[in-house]
Amino acid sequence: MSKFVILHKKKDTLNRLCCIMKVTKQTLQHLRKKVPLTNTIHYSTFIYNQLKKLNLCKSFSNRVIGHLMSILISIFISGYHGKTTDFSQNSSCPRTTIAHFLNSGKWDDTLLENTLKSSVVEIIYSEAQRTGKPVFCIVDDTIASKTKPSSQALHPIEDAYFHQSHLKRKQDYDHQAVAVMLSCNGIVLNYAFVLYNKSISKIDIVQNIAKELPEPPVMSYFLCDCWYVSEKIINTFVQKGFHTIGALKTNRLLYPSGMKKKLSELAAELSVTEKVFDLVTVKKRKYYVYRYEGNLNGIENAVVLLSYPEKAFGNPKAPEGLAKFRRK
């Protein structure tokens, strides 16, 4: 693992730990009442007490705890910008000392990462148990654009590659990461944030995360875009008690009446008339929706909703597919 990846992982873990601290049993009541967190806690005392509750004070030295506290206080006060100079503003140590702590410090950031994940699961699953509302595991990838290096550059940016940007509709030079969120009853927490470096596919990244999740106490859902609607991921989440709801590409194969067809082909056939569609309203917008139940290529037991915006019915570029995959 490169030094850049290690540094990025440590900074991100600390930012996510800060988010966890804002959603503890002690502050959930304030959050539900929408009382500003800054009015309910004293940063240093609160953070130290939370580190003790997570048993981190037993695992890390006083020096490490001191650095962690100064960084977390900085994030609480100023927000997270990923810059070491921000962390040093609330520390008695110079920026170079904090940079050394993050880059080369001998402390187990994996322990911190695992503690964070366990805390996220405890908070979200406890809320599901208390309310009976579903847990949502939400996965998406994101990019951070970088300046394209010169062909003569001796030290190009580590782990930056060209990826397809859906926003720019072209290849973009950037860092790409896979984010995994757990949510229940309006509480949303980051469970994992994995920098993608081509050593492992994004499908395998998400499948590995699914394998490590415990089974939720209530019926729950995995939400994703079309990239992650794969047999491997769906089956792994099914084994852990999650239904999958995901977008579909228009070239995805379905089998209506046993005949193999692309979603786009099925849409073209059905959109000759509105009779087989239902007109539904979602947040004051109307859509024509067709429901298909059956198999997809490589996946069984699916429900697919084919939809058109009301005013774009029949437009070959307008149909969208959303699939739900259920436990057998």
Alpha helices by DSSP H, listed for 202-278, are 202-212, 231-239, 263-270
- State the amino acid at position 56 in one-letter form: L
121-145 average pLDDT score: 90
Q: Range with the lowest mean pLDDT among 91-100, 141-150, 226-235?
A: 141-150
Q: Is the dihedral of CA 310, 312, 314, 316 positive or negative?
A: negative
Q: Are 261 and 253 in contact (CB under 8 A)?
A: yes
- Residue-range domain boundaries for the chain: 1-107, 109-149+158-245, 249-325
153 or 252: which leads in pLDDT = 252
The pLDDT score that the predictor gives to residue 151 is: 58
The pair phi, psi for residue 166, each rounded to 5°, is -70, -30
What DSSP line would sit under 104-143, residue for residue? H--S-HHHHHHHHHHHHHHHHHHHHHHH-PPPEEEEEEEE
Q: Residues 296-309: pLDDT tens digits?
A: 887 888 899 999 99
- Single out the residue of 34, 101, 88 nearest to residue 61, CA to CA: 101
Looking only at the bridges linking them, the beta strands covering 187-196 and 170-184 are: antiparallel
Between 228 and 32, the higher pLDDT residue = 228
> Which of 172, 182, 264, 167 shows the shortest CA–CA distance to 220?
182
pLDDT of residue 28: 42
What's residue 33's pLDDT?
47
- Higher confidence at residue 46 or residue 237? 237
DSSP letter for 66, please: H
Contacts of 224 (CB under 8 A, 6+ apart): 138, 139, 140, 206, 233, 244, 245, 246, 247
Where does the pLDDT of residue 257 fall: very low under 50, low under 70, confident under 90, or very high at 90 and above? confident
What does the alpha-carbon distance between residue 203 and residue 211 come to, in Å, rounded to a whole number?
A: 12
d(CA 221, CA 111): 28
